[in-house]
Every structure is written in structure tokens, then in C-alpha cells.
Amino acid sequence: MTSAPASRPRVLVTRAIFPEVIDQLAEHVDVEANPDDQLWSRDELIRRAQGKQGLLTTGGERVDAALLAACPDLRICANMAVGYNNFDVPAMTAAGVLATNAPGVLTDTTADFGFALMMAAARRVTESEHWLRAGQWDRWRYDLFAGSDIHGTTLGIIGMGRIGQGIARRGTHGFGMQVIYHNRSRLPAEDEAAVGATYVSKQALLQSADHVVLVVPYTPESHHTIGAAELALMKPTATLTNIARGGIVDDVALARALSEGRIAAAGLDVFEGEPKVHPDLLACRNVVLTPHIASASVPTRLAMARLAADNLAGFLTTGQPLTPINPEVLGKG
């Protein structure tokens, strides 16, 4: 007598992603997708997650002890992002739920965008475009939207992981910049040499850099890494670029510093409380604002989605995820 086939693992994809990635997942697991990209309430997310063994999340869905308690069948949550501050990793580990993210595949795309955002802020691209579109351009002037140079200046990077090192390489080898950095731990000498970067204290970086770029993960310890005190250390001609996470910068303090001319300009891709943006920032002319799109090239976003799907399918079918955050969960149960 032939036994009935074992039921396949069930996964929930919490936001709309590429249809071909849904098809990729469906070859291995049963998928409940969200093709219309409905923004589910917390209660609705938990309701849909019940009975699922896996979640594919996009960075905005909180996975914590309450959700885990309500979803005892859950075995893995795969973030389609390199950051995972939406995961309570200790709670997931205690519950025996694997967490994965999508590092590596977005490094160069995000580093490119960080440089683009920094340059747009320094050269007053957004401010001048708004002025032109408003019909105010009627003559050339020697000082018309004169900004600051990038080449030959000092680039300060706070956070020196993969993306920080990518930005350093672009500064050193592409623009002849002097690159200084601050990080929780210093890089090995050979890695510093490869990207042409020098380790300094956070205070020295803020005081010396012409352009400061933030690439640190969000944790309670990194909350408001840049606040009023730090902004006061920066040069009045300096720019600040944040492609890390909202909450790394005190947005209210930054808006005040920008409006009062204490720093020259800023470029922000992430915000406290996003997608809402503080109205004080919206009122500043000398800030470039983008809606969390640093990794948003089609090839890179597709690679991020495929990696998240590979983590889900790999773990649920063979026990072999590609990029575990809490690998101590593997082999349990």
C-alpha cells in the first residue's frame, strides 16, 4: 500500500515581490503570497502567519516574542534585506526559529547609491532642480548653487562593513579622497590598505571629515549615533549622508542644524518612523530625501528576493540555509 505524500512546508510572503521568485518558492513549498502588497495590520500578519513554517519578510514586519508565541509552527523568518532590526533575534533563538538575511548581494549597489546621495547633497542637485522647475532661472551667476567638491576632500565613514568598505574604495580609487573611518572594531591592516582607509576616533572623524557617511546597523546602542552634540562637532561646510537605518540620526536635531547652517547639507535615504518623514526635514532646502531606495536596482532587488527564497526553501527542505543570523538554531529539534 502506497503511503500518502508528506505535506509540504507552508510559507507566507508578507509583501509583494517578483512573481518569478514566488514561482521559485512554489517549486519547493506551499506559498501564500501578497501580490497586491496589502499593508497588513499586526493582528492580520499574525493571523496569516499561523500554521506557516516560514515567513519571507522585507524589513518592516516585526518578528518578536508575541508573534512567535502566536505562531508555534514557525521555523524560519527570511529577511529580504541585509539589516534585521525588525527581528528580535534572542527571542527567535529561544523559540528555535532561524533568522536569515540577505548580505553581500546588495553591497555595490548600495555603495553606489551612498556615493550618489552624498554627491547630490554636496553639489546641491535637488535644491537647484526644484529652483529650476519653479521657473526661477533667468541668468548665470558665478555663485549659482555653488556647493562643495568631492574629489580630493576627506571622507569619513562610520560603520566599516561590506558597504562601508565599498564606499571607501570608491572614495580612494575613484575620487582621490582621504578616507577615515570609525567602527566598533578596527579592520585588519591589509583590509585598511585595500580600501585606503585610516582608523580614527568618532570625534576626530566628525571634526575632520568634509563628508560623513553612515553605514552602521541599527541597534539600541547605535540609536542617535548622530545627534545635536555630534552635529556640533562637524564643519559648517560638511555634509552628512545616512544610508543605514532610521534612528541612527536624530532627525529633529539634524533639521535644526541644517536650517541654522551648522552643517552645509545632508542626504537621507532612511528616517525615524518611516515612511513618515519629520516635517522639519521636509522644510529644509539643503537636504536630499529619498524613500529607502539605496539597494533599489532591479538586478539587486531580484538577487535579494532570490536569496531570501533560497534561505527559506533550503532550510525547510534540506536544513541548509545560506545566510543564517543565529546558526545556533540549526540542528535543534
Give the CATH number for residue 129: 3.40.50.720
Q: Say which residue the cell 529580504 belongs to.
A: 80
- pLDDT for 332 equals 67
Task: Please provide residue 244's backbone torsions phi and psi, each rounded to the nearest 5 degrees.
Answer: -90, -90
Helix (H, G, I), strand (E, B), or coil: what is residue 158? strand
- In this structure, the answer to whether residues 78 and 225 fall within a common structural domain is no
- In this structure, the answer to whether residues 95 and 136 fall within a common structural domain is no
Q: How far apart are CA 321 and CA 149, in angstroms?
A: 45
- pLDDT for 69 equals 97
What's the distance, Cα to Cα, between the start and end of the chain in Å?
30
- In this structure, the answer to whether residues 205 and 97 fall within a common structural domain is no
Q: How far apart are CA 262 and CA 123, in angstroms?
A: 17
- In this structure, the answer to whether residues 176 and 285 fall within a common structural domain is yes
One-letter amino acid of 69: A
- In this structure, the answer to whether residues 219 and 143 fall within a common structural domain is yes
- pLDDT for 333 equals 53
Number of domains in the chain: 2
Length of the chain: 333
Asked whether residue 4 is domain-assigned, the answer is no
Numbers of helices and strands, H then E, in the chain: 14, 12
Torsion of CA 185, 191, 197, 200, to 10 degrees: 20
- In this structure, the answer to whether residues 179 and 282 fall within a common structural domain is yes
Task: Report the relative pairing of strands 178-182 and 265-268 from DSSP bridges.
Answer: unpaired
Q: Are 89 and 68 in contact (CB under 8 A)?
A: no
One-letter amino acid of 7: S
- pLDDT for 331 equals 76
- pLDDT for 60 equals 87
Asked whether residue 1 is domain-assigned, the answer is no
Structural domain harbouring 14 = 10-105+298-329
What does pLDDT average to in each consecutive run of 10 residues of the chain (333 residues)? 62 97 96 94 96 95 97 98 94 98 96 98 97 97 97 98 97 98 96 97 98 95 97 98 97 98 98 95 97 97 97 95 96 65
Asked whether residue 82 is domain-assigned, the answer is yes
- In this structure, the answer to whether residues 246 and 219 fall within a common structural domain is yes
Residues that are catalytic:
245, 274, 292
- In this structure, the answer to whether residues 38 and 186 fall within a common structural domain is no
Q: Say which residue the cell 545560506 belongs to.
A: 322
Q: In 59-87, which positions are buried (b, 16+ CB within 10 angstroms) versus exposed (e)?
A: bebebeeebbeebeebbbbbbbbbbbbbb
Asked whether residue 5 is domain-assigned, the answer is no
